[in-house]
Structure 1
């Protein structure tokens, strides 16, 4: 199966999942995750009409941004260290992995230096796994309020990483928990934007769509690697 076939199949699966939950497939962004993917394969996906790409590592992000056309929109989806922010802050459309107040403050500092606003999602550790980054669910609502006060940041919504499983139904409660949290935050404060839910990867994106994902982060199912 080639790249174009992979893309069509993933889009069909997203559309079917959206229809099952009464959603419009056009409301869901398919983000092509480029971790461990060659520039040649990325260009093949770009040539199929893709413009939205996600990368986990700053060094790889810098390299791949330089080799793709300027209209490609890059998302930072991996853990971000404070000392790396300055290298990418003006090159990315959305940071998915804001997971600490110290990181938020450094992004804010760098944003104000460049007279810009940085679009961010707050990473929430819904599953409670110690091996995963993210704000604990019990601290999430207060964290959102603190970040929303920083003038160099624009909060767009939430992100989570579900545990890996070969049985996607097992992680449905994780995605439902993030959706419930976003709705609770919206009810408590109309000033906080909760339009974006980034959740779901190659092994579980259909369940994520059924539970309200607006961005699914898919690598293996697209690139085959």
Structure 2
């Protein structure tokens, strides 16, 4: 058994255990393979194991991956910040965008889209200056503003916990995002994109639907 296959089995097991712990259906959780800095051979092995959701945090890198992996069943996620000048290059090449982090990017995205794009509002729950995203107090305005754009389909909220935070703090950050999403929900249920290699079990326990895992697959 290769290291990647062993890692994948461990991730699947931990996802199931986390779901069982809080009585969630494992089908509610979508693991995303973050391919940043990985070799194409590594990505091909994960694909061969049956995983289909892949992500990059930079436009150029995602477009490079798409050239290397043209399989039609791959679902592409852009999970990093997007500059206005790069919007037209990427928005019609992806199925999900996880990082609407400011009001000013919405009009450009909407204008460049050929069809609706599933998007998340990025929320800086921890308040770190180094992180992008709306403050929790700004999310409600952003959610309302997004409604005026027919091609932007806000399906949920995204956040990242501080890397150095302990488990209790991480849980509190994820729990706060879930509470914000509950206040926003009306006719539709919003999804949560939270959890990475170091904290995805906690994220699942706190309601995450999309977990963005990178190094845990490969190292």
Q: Normalization by structure 1: what TM-score?
A: 0.93
Deviation, 1:168, is 2.7
Equivalent position of 1:183 in the other structure: 182
Shift of 1:102: 1.2
C-alpha distance in structure 2 between counterparts of 1:151 and 1:47, whole Å:
36
C-alpha deviation, 1:165, in angstroms: 2.7
CA RMSD of aligned residues (A): 1.2
1:57-206 to 2 correspondences below 5 Å? 57-68=58-69, 69-111=71-113, 114=114, 116-165=115-164, 167-186=166-185, 189-190=186-187, 193-206=188-201
Runs of 4+ residues deviating >3 angstroms: none
CA shift, 1:81, in A, is 0.8
Contact 1:169 1:207 in 2 (8 A): no
How far apart are 1:38 and its partner, in Å? 1.3
2: CA distance, partners of 1:166 / 1:13: 20
Residue 36 (structure 1) aligned with residue 37 (structure 2):
yes
| 1:75-128 deviations in Å (ceiling 9; x for gaps) | 0001111111111111111000011111111100101xx3x1111110011111
What SS does the corresponding residue of 1:32 show, helix, strand or coil? strand
- Alignment coverage as a number of residue pairs: 217
Aligned to 2:141, the other structure's residue is in SS state helix
**Is the 1:78–1:96 contact (alpha carbons within 8 Å) kept by the matching residues of 2?**
yes
Q: Quick one: distance in 1 between partners of 2:148 and 2:167? A: 36
Gaps of 5+ in 2: none
Give the distance between the partners of 1:150 and 1:84, measured in 2 at CA: 19
Q: Which runs of 5+ in 1 are unaligned?
A: none
TM-score by length of 2: 0.96
* Offset at residue 166 of structure 1 (A): 6.5
